[in-house]
């Protein structure tokens, strides 16, 4: 382990977080809230710590996969640790563990909250909560790489650890340019939504925080009723942008570079839209009797499906009251998740597609034992290494899920709550069912369970491996 480079990069991260923290401070200033000072203090602390860590240049600049993964995992932890401090200092969330849970939930774009009443929070606090979604959605390293020429070719190791999807591909040859394009698209989508929401009568502050939550596929609302209180038009806009944020960003890149045909040919994205349509259709049929009009039923069905499959976690209705079939569909969608290369979480549509193709291949092998068969995506053969990593991902995923459910069941809550809480944490969704349903929150859990869920959220956001690596003793051995 090259500890010095890890610390050095952590220094960078803290400086950036310091800069990010100035934004809620500005919001506090605009609304003349004293809470704003907490953000200025912590921003200063971040700058100072970052400066101290950057004082000593690392002896060796070698950044191998191991260092890359550890750096990313640590950066997210450290970011959350510092990011939680202003909540405590400003008094918005007095308990540090709760504040940490809220911040990790924010950065990992989960959107699970421990607050029983969010509306009492200061504007600065609400802004920071939503802004963590936006930073965490595309990833802080992607952001840094777009700005700083960090360290040549090995930066790919950092991007690999932070980007969602079974195989990470760059859009253009340089990491830096790729990162710039990704953030360009990200910012453009955010502004589009902000603009539309404002036009349809949402107050600017609400529109801003909702856009952060949507495009980052986070899900922190600034109202206790999430999005339910807003007009149907606004709900529909949010639905569209949630679904768009769950699309693989290379689609937008293809469209931008005028390769329209290619963009519509991507198998993963086709499946993604197909799944949304089918599930929403089934839920419409199933919940038709609950709402007065078909329009309302369709609106709620699409909103909930979009919110869950993209792992955002907004809600316009309490789906915990839906019939069992609809609830089960939603839980299934929690597992599937958004497309690879988007800001969403979950197993990812492409992995699910590969898994189904693997199953078909194995079944076909029973019938024709000597058949040679390859798995293809977008008419390209999927490499054996990718297949292996998909299978291993799934194995780790389920092990982590079962162990976590076991661990938090010491709180003696009912099974559905425990299970859906873990599922929603690993998949970065937000709400679960029963006690953690869309109208409830995570404050029912004990401190220990909260730590387990925090780990799950981070593991889920960073695609399991970076966080699991931290548990391997070999990682820490000197080389």
Partner 1 sequence: MDIIIVGCGKVGHTLVEQLSSEDHNIVVIDENPNKIQYLTEKFDVISIVGNGINHETLIDAGIETADLLIAVTGDDEKNLLCCVVAKKTGHCNTIARVRNPIYNGEIDFLKKEFGLAMIINPEQTAASEISRIFQFPAAIRVDSFAKGHVELLHFKIDAGSPLVGLKLLNLHSSFHTNVLVCTVIRGDEVIIPNGAFEFKENDIVSIASQRHNAISFFRKIGIMKTKVGNAILAGGGKISYYLARTLLQSGIRVTIIDISHDRCDHLCSLLPEATIICGDATDQDLLSQEGLENAQGFAALTGLDEENILLSLYANKVSKAKTVTKINRITFSSVINELDLGSTIYPRIITADYILKYVRSMNNSKDSNVETLYKMANGKAEALEFIIKADSEITGTPLQNLHFRPNTLICCIYRGGQVILPSGQDIIQRGDSVLVVISGYRISDILETLGD
Residues at the interface with partner 1 (CB under 8 A): 65, 152-157, 169-170, 172-177, 383
CB of 388 to partner 1, least distance (A): 14
Q: How far apart are CA 26 and CA 218, in angstroms?
A: 22
CB of 246 to partner 1, least distance (A): 25
Per DSSP, the three-state class of 380 is strand
CB of 97 to partner 1, least distance (A): 39
CB of 147 to partner 1, least distance (A): 16
Q: Which is nearer to partner 1, 295 or 378 (CB)?
A: 378
Q: Which is nearer to partner 1, 65 or 236 (CB)?
A: 65
Return the closest-CA partner of residue 111 out of 312, 279, 305, 257: 312
CB of 385 to partner 1, least distance (A): 8
Q: Which is nearer to partner 1, 154 or 225 (CB)?
A: 154
Q: Which is nearer to partner 1, 169 or 332 (CB)?
A: 169
**At a CB cut-off of 8 Å and minimum separation 6, what does 31 contact?**
122, 123, 124
Q: How far apart are CA 338 and CA 176, in angstroms?
A: 25
CA within 13 Å, CB half, 79:
31
Q: Which is nearer to partner 1, 370 or 479 (CB)?
A: 479
Q: How far apart are CA 73 and CA 67, in angstroms?
A: 10
**Structure tokens that stand for 125 in this block:** 């606090």
CB of 160 to partner 1, least distance (A): 9
CB of 53 to partner 1, least distance (A): 25
Q: Which is nearer to partner 1, 34 or 169 (CB)?
A: 169
Cα angle 436, 287, 437 (rounded to 5 degrees) comes to: 5
Q: How far apart are CA 267 and CA 248, in angstroms?
A: 11
Q: How far apart are CA 366 and CA 457, in angstroms?
A: 39
**Structure tokens that stand for 43 in this block:** 């921003």
Q: Which residue in the block uniquely carries the two structure tokens 């387990």? A: 452
Q: Which is nearer to partner 1, 293 or 379 (CB)?
A: 379
CB of 62 to partner 1, least distance (A): 11
CB of 172 to partner 1, least distance (A): 7
Buried b (16+ CB within 10 A) or exposed e, 136-165: bbbbbbbbbbbeeebbeebbbbbbbbbbbb
Q: Which is nearer to partner 1, 170 or 223 (CB)?
A: 170
Other Cβ atoms less than 10 A from the Cβ of 469: the count is 19
Alpha helices by DSSP H, 322-412: 324-336, 349-367, 384-408
Q: How far apart are CA 219 and CA 437, in angstroms?
A: 13
Q: Which is nearer to partner 1, 119 or 383 (CB)?
A: 383
């Amino acid at each position: 382990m090259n500890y010095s480079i890890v610390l050095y990069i952590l220094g960078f991260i803290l400086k950036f977080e310091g800069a990010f923290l100035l934004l809620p401070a500005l919001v506090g200033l605009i609304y003349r809230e004293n809470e704003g000072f907490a953000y200025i203090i912590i921003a200063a602390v971040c700058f100072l710590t970052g400066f101290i860590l950057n004082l000593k240049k690392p002896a060796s600049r070698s950044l191998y996969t191991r260092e890359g993964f550890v750096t990313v995992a640590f950066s997210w932890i450290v970011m959350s640790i510092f990011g939680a401090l202003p909540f405590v200092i400003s008094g918005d969330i007095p308990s540090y563990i709760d504040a940490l849970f809220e911040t990790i939930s924010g950065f990992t774009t989960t959107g699970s909250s421990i607050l029983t009443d969010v509306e009492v929070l200061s504007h600065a606090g609400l802004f920071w909560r939503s802004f963590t979604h936006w930073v965490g959605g595309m990833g802080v390293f992607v952001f840094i790489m777009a700005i700083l020429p960090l360290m040549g070719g090995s930066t790919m190791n950092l991007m690999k650890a932070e980007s969602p999807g079974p195989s990470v591909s760059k859009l253009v040859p340089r990491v830096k340019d790729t990162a710039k394009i990704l953030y360009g698209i990200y910012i453009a989508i955010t502004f589009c939504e902000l603009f539309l929401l404002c036009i349809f009568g949402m107050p600017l502050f609400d529109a801003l925080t909702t856009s952060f939550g949507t495009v980052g596929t986070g899900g922190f609302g600034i109202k206790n009723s999430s999005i339910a209180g807003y007009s149907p038009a606004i709900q529909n806009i949010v639905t569209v942008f949630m679904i768009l944020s769950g699309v693989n960003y290379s689609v937008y890149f293809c469209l931008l570079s005028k390769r329209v045909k290619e963009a519509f040919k991507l198998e993963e994205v086709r499946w993604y839209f197909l799944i949304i349509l089918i599930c929403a259709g089934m839920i419409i049929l199933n919940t038709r009797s609950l709402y007065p009009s078909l329009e309302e039923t369709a609106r709620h069905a699409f909103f909930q499906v979009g919110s869950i499959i993209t792992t955002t976690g907004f809600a316009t209705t309490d789906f915990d009251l839906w019939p069992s079939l609809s609830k089960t569909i939603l839980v299934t969608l929690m597992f599937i998740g958004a497309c690879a290369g988007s800001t969403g979480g979950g197993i990812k549509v492409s992995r699910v597609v590969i898994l189904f193709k693997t199953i078909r291949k194995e079944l076909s092998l029973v019938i024709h034992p000597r058949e040679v068969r390859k798995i293809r995506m977008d008419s390209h053969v999927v490499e054996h290494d990718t297949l292996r990593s998909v299978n291993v991902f799934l194995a780790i995923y389920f092990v982590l899920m079962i162990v976590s459910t076991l661990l938090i069941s010491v709180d003696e809550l009912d099974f559905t709550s425990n299970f859906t809480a873990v599922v929603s944490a690993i998949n970065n969704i937000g709400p679960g069912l029963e006690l953690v349903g869309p109208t409830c929150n995570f404050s029912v859990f004990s401190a220990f369970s909260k730590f387990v869920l925090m780990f799950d959220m981070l593991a889920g956001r960073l695609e399991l491996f970076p966080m699991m690596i931290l548990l391997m003793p070999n990682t820490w051995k000197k080389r």
